[in-house]
Amino acid sequence: MKFKSLKVLVIALVAVFSAGLIFAATAEQYLAQGNKFLKAKQYDKAIQYYSASAKMKPTDAAYYYMGLAYYMKGKKAEALSSFQNALKVNPSNANAKKMVAKLQGGGSAAGGSKANQYLTMGHKYLKAGQYDKAIQYYNASAKTQPTYQAYQFMGTAYYKKGDKANAKIAYEKSLQLNPNNTGVRNILAKLGGGDASSEPRLSQQMGVHPLLLAGLFAGTIAVLFLF
């Protein structure tokens, strides 16, 4: 009986020690897993893991690669926001600087000009009360060059036509690009604006990779059966 009790104690201690190692390396594990999904072009999965990594340990690498995943998906506003977050953590990240300049139109005068043309056309249709047309041009402007103005006026057009759900989404994207815009912040408050990100899974709340969590639970059950 003494030998059996000692064996159980050793197994329990190993499980606890292993869990400690898992918790210590969680952010790096999420980052590595995100890189695998990025290479496999599974961008939604990559973003999920980069986001988990950044929540546990904000690094410029997590935000930068998250930006790349968003960029490859064609979501330029989210990509720009991620690259800007990377620069907040590490202002000397040259790759993030290049992507911010590219997305803000710093390296493309033609792209910026085109975006402004779309923006101007959107204003004309907004004033004329042709909200669907306005949204079409604001969307084209944002895709050409993501700006807080394009998303702000897109939100206004959606709001005018009574589509508050899409208005909220557009205003939130505008606020991501310009967090100091108090006007948009006030509108979002009236619309009940907030972070629409989903609740993390149990494994994320505990800070454990899903596969490792499954293994840990299995080990715990095995220990219980020994009793």
pLDDT, tens digit, for every residue of 138-181? 999 988 888 889 999 999 999 999 999 999 999 999 888 888 88
Q: What is the pTM of this model?
A: 0.48
| pLDDT confidence tier of residue 104, bands split at 50, 70 and 90 | confident
Arithmetic mean of pLDDT over the chain: 77
- 3-state SS, the chain, equals CHHHHHHHHHHHHHHHHHHHHHHHCHHHHHHHHHHHHHHCCCHHHHHHHHHHHHHHCCCHHHHHHHHHHHHHHCCHHHHHHHHHHHHHHCCCCHHHHHHHHHHCCCCCHHHHHHHHHHHHHHHHHHHCCCHHHHHHHHHHHHHHCCCHHHHHHHHHHHHHCCCHHHHHHHHHHHHHHCCCCHHHHHHHHHHCCCCCCCCCCHHHHHCCCHHHHHHHHHHHHHHHHHC
Segment 5-41, tens digit of pLDDT = 555 555 555 554 444 444 445 889 999 999 999 999 9
Predicted confidence (pLDDT) per residue in 32-67, tens digit: 999 999 999 999 999 999 999 999 999 999 999 999
Domains for the chain: give ranges and CATH numbers. 2-103 (1.25.40.10), 109-180 (1.25.40.10)
